[in-house]
Amino acid sequence: MSDAAENPLGPDAPPAREHAGRAEQLDVADPLGALRDRFVLDDTVYLDGNSLGALPRAVPDRVADVIAREWGELRIRSWSESGWWTAPERIGDKIAPLIGAAPGRVVVGDSTSVNLFKAVVAGIRMAGKGCTEILVDATTFPTDGYIARSAARMTGLAVRPVEPARIGDEVTERTALALVNHVDYRTGRLNDLPGITAALHSAGALAVWDLCHSAGALPVGLDAHGVDLAVGCTYKYLNGGPGSPAYLYVRESLQERFDSPLPGWNSHAEPFGMDPDYAPADGIVRGRVGTPDILSLLALEAALVAWDGVTIEDVRAKSLALTDFFLDCVAAYAPQGRVRSVTPAEHQRRGSQVSLACADAGEVMAGLIRRGVVGDFRHPDVLRFGFTPLYTSFADAEQAAWVLGEVLRAQPEVEAGATGGRG
């Protein structure tokens, strides 16, 4: 008997929704499940927290108070009375435990790009005089490469792109530093921060890490692994809001040698002395530049309240459980051969997103969004789904996979080569 005869809906009928009950069980048992109430959410399945985190409930009232009272009433007095002046270091200390850093090693302010520039140029200045090159993650987010090449031109060094897994083999005594992404933005691959850092140090080079896709999603261990310099954004898994300020980490033993290429009055030892000669402040303060963006800084500080009582280890455990479960659901619900995971299956090589190679990915993602599942795609053929354990549920993961299957069944199959695809 044919399949069509056995199934009155025909051979292309959707599969049974066999993982829905399992999702409910996992959510009931989830020790982080109650944290979802700390965010402003609706019926949308939001899996784009790797681009922009959801709004924490503590933020609107805090921002309203900053505007109405601290700015509206106290005005200039708020620099001292409301703690505006110390916000970059204070908020840095709140981020520090999430990236494995002690207090006094993280400062918040400026954009990721600006902090990358500070870190790379300062790293080159700290390197030995015989250094002639910097290594750059060959799979890096484009801006990191742009910044590295600009810094190299300014300092007379060459840039050599290297696959992260090969940095240990490619580093030489002529290498000043390597700039590496902890998690690949396209595939979700987790790079070996401890191993790469150790390999760089064994050759006398510095390790500069971009944590944009790992901070707030998994343990980083900057202090434990001896990372020299690191930067990261705060609007992804830290939920700081659109364009929220980035942060800069400087290893404690390097802080007195940190020579910023952007010396500003905020990083001066006597900022109100208005001395025409620059004298850097002690410690992490020398990572500051100009006047802090107070509204965004204090919104970020309020957003970090969502982390109260949460350990990054528990977040990592849920992240891996969520991504495993989502991949199981996709395997069950998506038409065979239409999508392929490009995210490593091994836990030690996976961040907190799942990337699926899919022909006509842009149209597929548009179909998902129309049906209330929000992820994103990267050219030419990658669907990205970010899992933020503070508010993503297992029901979200199951629903997203189910809707993906519906969209793929509703859209005509496109040959992968038509979009330059790999899947």
- In terms of domains, do 289 and 317 share one? no
Residue 365 inside a domain? The answer is yes
C-alpha distances in Å from residue 126, one per residue of 157, 206, 219, 278: 14, 9, 27, 19
Rounded CA gap, 369 and 363, in Å? 10
Of the CA atoms within 13 Å of residue 325, those in its CB half-sphere come to: 27
C-alpha distances in Å from residue 97, one per residue of 49, 267, 292, 301, 373: 20, 23, 22, 14, 32
Q: What is the pLDDT of residue 420?
A: 32
Last residue in a domain, options 278, 307, 336: 307
Q: Establish whether 144 is a catalytic residue.
A: no
Q: What is the pLDDT of residue 12?
A: 61
C-alpha distances in Å from residue 76, one per residue of 71, 73, 109, 302, 358: 7, 9, 20, 21, 54
Residue 242 inside a domain? The answer is yes
| Catalytically annotated residue among 46, 235, 249, 394 | 235
Residue 44 inside a domain? The answer is no
Residue 20 inside a domain? The answer is yes
- In terms of domains, do 299 and 379 share one? no
- In terms of domains, do 163 and 237 share one? yes
Question: What pTM does this model have?
Answer: 0.94
**CATH code assigned at 226:** 3.40.640.10
Q: Establish whether 43 is a catalytic residue.
A: no
Picking from 244, 242, 285, 241, the residue whose alpha carbon sits closest to that of residue 265 is 285
| Catalytically annotated residue among 160, 186, 189, 236 | 236
**CATH code assigned at 327:** 3.90.1150.10
Residue 220 inside a domain? The answer is yes
Q: What is the pLDDT of residue 1?
A: 26
Last residue in a domain, options 282, 307, 332: 307
Q: Establish whether 90 is a catalytic residue.
A: no
- In terms of domains, do 274 and 376 share one? no
Q: What is the pLDDT of residue 418?
A: 33
- In terms of domains, do 298 and 337 share one? no
| Catalytically annotated residue among 137, 210, 228, 293 | 210
- In terms of domains, do 302 and 319 share one? no
- The three-state DSSP-derived secondary structure of the chain is CCHHHHCCCCCCCCCCCCCHHHHHHHHHHCCCHHHHHHEECCCCEECECCCCCCEECHHHHHHHHHHHHHHHHHHHHHHHHCCCCCHHHHHHHHHHHHHCCCCCCEEECCCHHHHHHHHHHHHHHHCCCCCCEEEEECCCCHHHHHHHHHHHHHHCCEEEEECHHHHHHHCCCCEEEEEEECECCCCCEECCHHHHHHHHHHCCCEEEEECCCCCCCCCCCCCCCCCCEEEECCCCCCCCCCCCCCEEEECHHHHHHCCCCCCCHHHECCCCCCCCCCCECCHHHHHCCCCCCHHHHHHHHHHHHHHCCCCHHHHHHHHHHHHHHHHHHHHHHCCCCCEEECCCCCHHHECCEEEEEECCHHHHHHHHHHCCEECEEECCCEEEEECCCCCCCHHHHHHHHHHHHHHHHHCCCCCHHHHCCCC
- In terms of domains, do 82 and 209 share one? yes
Picking from 146, 123, 261, 138, the residue whose alpha carbon sits closest to that of residue 205 is 123
Residue 421 inside a domain? The answer is no
- In terms of domains, do 155 and 283 share one? yes
* Domain membership of residue 375 as a residue range: 3-30+311-409
- In terms of domains, do 375 and 239 share one? no
Residue 207 inside a domain? The answer is yes
| Catalytically annotated residue among 384, 385, 391, 394 | 384
For tokens 């309203």, the residue is 64
Q: Measured at the alpha carbon of residue 101, what is the angle toward residues 98 and 125, in degrees to the nearest 5?
A: 125
For tokens 């659901």, the residue is 329
Q: What is the pLDDT of residue 14?
A: 79
- In terms of domains, do 239 and 372 share one? no
Positions of the chain with pLDDT lower than 50, given as ranges: 1-10, 415-423
Last residue in a domain, options 280, 307, 334: 307
- In terms of domains, do 249 and 225 share one? yes
| Catalytically annotated residue among 125, 141, 174, 316 | 141
Amino acid, single-letter form, for residue 260: S
Q: Establish whether 42 is a catalytic residue.
A: no
Rounded CA gap, 62 and 240, in Å? 13
pLDDT tens by residue, 332-368? 999 999 999 999 999 999 999 999 999 999 999 999 9
Q: Establish whether 94 is a catalytic residue.
A: no
In the chain, the number of structural domains is 2
Q: What is the pLDDT of residue 147?
A: 97
Residue 40 inside a domain? The answer is no
Picking from 370, 364, 376, the residue whose alpha carbon sits closest to that of residue 404 is 364
Measured in whole angstroms, the distance separating CA 238 from the mean position of its chain's CA atoms is 8
- In terms of domains, do 247 and 354 share one? no
